Amino acid sequence: MEPGIDRTPGGTVLVLGGTAEARELATLLDRAGVPFVSSLAGRVARPRLPVGRVRVGGFGGVAGLVAFLADHAVTAVVDATHPFAEGMTGNAVAACAASGVPLLRLERPGWADAPGADTWHWVGDHAEAADLVAELGKRPFLTVGRQDLATFTGPLSDHAVLVRVVDVPELALPTPWTLVTSRGPYRAAEERLLMTGHRVDALVTKDSGGTYTWPKLEVAAELGLPVVIVRRREGPAGVRTVTGPDEAAAWVCARA
């Protein structure tokens, strides 16, 4: 059993978090008096922490998560991880199925129906995004997170890339690239200053959804820049999905 997390008589709820929606859900569950623990992957050096008990780090795959669910008498799991955290979502589906623990997916809507979305270049993966943006611009703004940067270093090795991540990547970036470390939420005025200051001529991102990083797309439209956006994959089959923390809290409370 992990230090700092005690077995809760009658069971507890596990919130797989790391997103703004997960933090809001934690606040709602705390107010409702529902026993829960939030789990963060630990990939960000200084994460924003939710209220309540928190564990940080991986579980050790499906088997480790199954053991955690049993050791901590988990009665329900809410997967509120990032829309592109496909590995954790897959592990949650498998572990809950093996354990007979109810699972809910909390996932904010993407930007497919947002203003201007029909003018964007939608691609299936980061490799396709890298190849396409190499043709669209010489000074692209890359906002796909640090884990997928290696896919872009080859096709964009001679481009003056502006790359923004939360934490400095371990990967050595090509010489022409400029690295910016920051985290949202962002404002349009800030994004406009950044993008015009670096003479950005294309934007690459993924369909994360939400409002925290939307302003860069707003500014790209104002500047008439081409946008390359990586599509989300379809969510896990057979798993109920809600789009808001209120709905997730109601689902949990109905089982408390």
Ordered mean pLDDT values, 10 residues apiece, the chain (256 residues): 36 93 96 95 78 92 96 96 92 97 96 95 97 97 94 96 94 95 94 98 96 96 98 88 96 88
SS3 category, 99: helix
Helix (H, G, I), strand (E, B) or coil at 135: helix
What does the pLDDT read at residue 44?
A: 66
Q: Where in the chain is the domain with CATH 3.40.50.720?
A: 12-107+235-253, 117-230
Does the global pTM surpass 0.95? no
Strand locations in the chain (E)? 12-16, 36-40, 53-56, 74-79, 103-106, 121-123, 140-143, 162-165, 178-181, 202-206, 227-230, 240-242
Q: Do 3 and 51 contact (CB within 8 A), yes or no? A: no
pLDDT of residue 220: 98
Count Cβ neighbours within 10 Å for each residue of 197-218 and write b for 16 or more, e otherwise. eeebbbbbbbbbbbeebbbbbb
Q: Which CATH architecture group holds 12-107+235-253?
A: 3-Layer(aba) Sandwich (3.40)
Does the domain made of 117-230 have the CATH classification 3.90.1170.50? no
pLDDT at 234: 85
pLDDT at 120: 98
